[in-house]
Structure 1
Amino acid sequence: MDTQLIDSTITRNSIKKLNVRCQSDKYKPVKEPPEKYIKSLQLDLFSQFVTNNKKGVSNTVEIWESIPKYFLTPAQVTKLRTKAGHADPYKFEYMYEGVSCLVKIQPALIEQPNETYKAFFPGVTEELVEEALKKFLTIQNHGIHDPDKAETWVRFSLSMLHRELKSIGRTRSRDEIKHAIQVMNKCHISLFRNNKEIWSGSLLQDLVTVGREEYIENTDSLHVCRLPLFISHAINQLGYRQFNYNRLMSCNEQLTRWIYKKLINRYRQANILNNYHFLYTDLKSSGLLQRETERKNRQKVLSALNELVEKNIVAKYETDQRKTGRTITNVKYTIYPSQEFISEQKAANKRSYQSEKISGNLFVNKTL
């Protein structure tokens, strides 16, 4: 990932404040959602979009999504497991804002039918479930946001998730969704900057079954979970961006979705008179380029770029190989936007402007 991932709405001072809050929050006991409805202008703004199709858009929170979390494949996970089915935490180093970072993912231990436990790391299904839950957060009566405590909760059921994923062509069975929720709740993510731990928590925190004694067994029972502090902070600070949710979820390749979000957050002034470029080494921070050879990794990038063209996100792209002798050391990719992407970015810019105008910058400058 390149060194410009945090935009002007989330300053370095904001990150420092976020780190302090995260560290103080790490080892608190399980919380319960608010009993009463909390009127929140911040959540209202998070749920308002500039579009004629509200169902087709959602929000991306760049600072949260810049942390690689969903990159391990089933084959990789199988290799990480011991004969007993357990696995040690997986560590992945990357650069962020020019700073050395490390994410440590402790797998979820899920009980199997034979009463043994097997380790699972978050992957593609968990990624898709997270996107659906963030979408639910924008629907009336499904989101709860406490701006003073910087806590955000989302209500859902397994059946809701099943219907949502099916409607966008990413069908998962209810058992698969149930498993994904358990993995997201039971796995543990630790984030380090310059060898210092700045955040630790699960993907879905404080999972509570509402009005039911059984734990996530009834597919129609309503559940509520607390989302990571990064998302709550972004809602308070207006540190999120509108994007085409349907288009993202239609992308088949994880790397395509990762690059698409990168373009949404970084290529804000997209138009026919300018282009956007990034390097092959920037993509390494996604965690999604771990094939046997660099040649195969570069092929994977081209496949993702071709899908961006197919999905009408990119009109065309160019590649410029950087070599030392006969060895390719890096590749520069230059993106030319589609007209639809340009229109969507303009709508996102307008939405951001309107939100800041409505809030009067009251919440942008509010500390955690």
Structure 2
Amino acid sequence: MAEKVTVKTPPAASKKSVQYDLFTQFVSNDVADMSNAVEIWDSIPKYFMTRAQTEKRRTEHGHADPVKWHYSYNNQEFTVTIQPALIEQADGSYKAFFPGVTEELVEEALKKILSDQTYGLHDVEKAETWVRFTLQMIRKELKARARTRSMTEIKHAIGVMSSCVVTVSKARKELWKGAILQDLVTVGREEYLADADAHHIGRLPLFISHSINQLHIRQFNLDRLMACNEQLARWIYRKLIHRFKHASLLTSYHFSYQSVLAESALLQQARDNDNRRKIRDALDELKGRGALMSYTETLKKEGRKVVDAVYEVRPTGEFISEQKAANKRDSDGQRRAVAAGLRIVPSGDNLG
């Protein structure tokens, strides 16, 4: 018997809440460049499959088996399994696609759109978050960040995001299963994703809803993130946003090669030396994008063999200012939550 799928319907209107208000408000002179990072959701590797890897996994009929990846978060071990989306082709056949870079960028565009209360719907009690959008809105947002995609590419990305299935497990116990963009419906039109100006609405994953409810969100410079060409540079930048909160001219942040290897799913070169070069390239890009002033790489050896490397990064004044603004937004949010009588669980949450 086929598994019964429960499809949720979007609410008619957003319910007023302090949590969603705080999600949509930023401490910045240029709020157009600000968005929200959600660490627990960002920590799940989702966009690591390349086109070449996908092509290799496809059968002669265009289908592909799910891909599984082991990763760590907050010193705990997890497994993510991604079942690819089957997208209908022009000849009527179906081909498997895994979420990749374009889907990553579209997700960031949708989260930015969500920060405008005109297009977001958040229900605190049900822990549901919906976003209204058009393909044209996504295209405009990507173009503004110099990440232009065609309507065909955006339509394809939305199809992949709504049809792939991501499963997160710990010790073989399933913790969560769903699409990146769930319960997608077209509002007021029969054509499914056919019109660039037709409105659509989709539900975002539970991790994002819970993080909004508990104020486990972090404002960051979306413009800088989207400017990064290297996917690993974007991953490291997100890491710094969440973990280097007290950046200053007198402080630095350390991370190891092994931690990036275990957490990111983006170091897939055959040789460690090539993977370390990839990290250096990403750090060089973050220097060029104004996030880092400098960095050092210190190799750890056992005899002649390099077993790890430690990277020490120092921030620019611009990044320091942005983190201070994010800290103020966090503290202001906590005060508003307390004043409203909300019980907020401290950050540092995990999937276990």
TM-score, length-scaled by structure 2: 0.95
| 2:313 alignment partner, one of 335, 347, 350 | 335
Provide the aligned length of Structure 1 versus Structure 2.
Answer: 341
Q: AA paired with 1:88? A: D
**Aligned-partner SS, 1:270:** coil
Residue number in structure 2 paired with 1:163: 140
1:126 aligned to 2:106?
Answer: no
CA distance in 2, matches of 1:363, 1:119: 44
| 1:199 alignment partner, one of 148, 153, 176 | 176
Q: AA paired with 2:250? A: L
Q: Assess if the C-alpha contact under 8 Å between 1:72 and 1:121 holds in 2.
A: yes
1:364 aligned to 2:316?
Answer: no
Q: Assess if the C-alpha contact under 8 Å between 1:320 and 1:331 holds in 2.
A: yes
Q: Assess if the C-alpha contact under 8 Å between 1:236 and 1:363 holds in 2.
A: no
Q: Assess if the C-alpha contact under 8 Å between 2:14 and 2:120 holds in 1.
A: no
Q: Assess if the C-alpha contact under 8 Å between 2:85 and 2:164 holds in 1.
A: yes
1:143 is displaced (CA, Å) by 0.4
Q: Assess if the C-alpha contact under 8 Å between 1:251 and 1:257 holds in 2.
A: yes
**CA pair 54-218 structure 1, distance change in 2 beyond 3 A:** same
| 1:73 alignment partner, one of 22, 42, 50 | 50
**CA pair 263-37 structure 1, distance change in 2 beyond 3 A:** closer
Q: AA paired with 1:124? A: V
Q: Assess if the C-alpha contact under 8 Å between 2:87 and 2:159 holds in 1.
A: yes
Q: Assess if the C-alpha contact under 8 Å between 2:81 and 2:166 holds in 1.
A: yes
Task: Please list the CA deviations of residues 317-342 of structure 1 after superposition, one character each: whole Å capped at 9, or x if unmatched.
Answer: 01100112222111000011111010
Equivalent residues in 2 for 1:1-368, closer than 5 Å: 29-284=6-261, 285-360=263-338, 362-365=342-345
* Contiguous gaps of at least 5 residues in structure 2: 347-352
Q: Assess if the C-alpha contact under 8 Å between 2:14 and 2:121 holds in 1.
A: yes
1:37 is displaced (CA, Å) by 3.4
* Contiguous gaps of at least 5 residues in structure 1: 1-25
1:365 is displaced (CA, Å) by 4.4
Out of 275-284 and 354-363, give the one that drifted further: 354-363
**CA pair 174-254 structure 1, distance change in 2 beyond 3 A:** same
Question: Identity across aligned pairs (percent)?
Answer: 54
**Aligned-partner SS, 2:118:** coil
TM-score, length-scaled by structure 1: 0.91
Task: Please list the CA deviations of residues 273-301 of structure 1 after superposition, one character each: whole Å capped at 9, or x if unmatched.
Answer: 11110000111121110023222111111
CA distance in 1, matches of 2:294, 2:345: 39
Residue number in structure 1 paired with 2:350: none
Q: Assess if the C-alpha contact under 8 Å between 1:99 and 1:194 holds in 2.
A: no
**Aligned-partner SS, 2:242:** helix
Q: Assess if the C-alpha contact under 8 Å between 1:269 and 1:346 holds in 2.
A: yes
Q: Pairwise CA RMSD of aligned residues? A: 1.3
1:140 is displaced (CA, Å) by 2.6
Q: AA paired with 2:154? A: I
Residue number in structure 2 paired with 1:14: none
**Aligned-partner SS, 2:140:** helix
CA distance in 2, matches of 1:321, 1:234: 37
